[in-house]
Amino acid sequence: MSLQAIYPDDKFGVILRKASPEVTPELRMKCLDCPGKLYYLGPGNSLSNYEVHLRNRQHRFRVSSRIKGTTS
């Protein structure tokens, strides 16, 4: 099951980061409800680190506020 299916109200994206041609590209998750935050994948290429963020109380509050149309 995909993260979007589990968390249908959450907005997030995948960022491909490649610092230079010699460096292996890294995938990171970006939370669109919590600006300025990027999350590494892991362990391995799993999304478990990011899923911890999705369950976070402050993140859940931001998603709920966006859905209700409030900004506080």
pLDDT of residue 66: 93
What are the phi and psi torsion angles at 33 (to 5°)? Answer: -90, -20
| 44: region left, alpha or beta (phi > 0 left; psi from -120 to 50 alpha) | left
- Quick one: pLDDT band at residue 1, thresholds 50, 70, 90? confident
pLDDT of 62 above 70? yes
Question: pLDDT (tens digit, 9 = 90+) per residue, 16-28?
Answer: 887 788 888 888 8
Structure token digits, residue 57: 């109380």
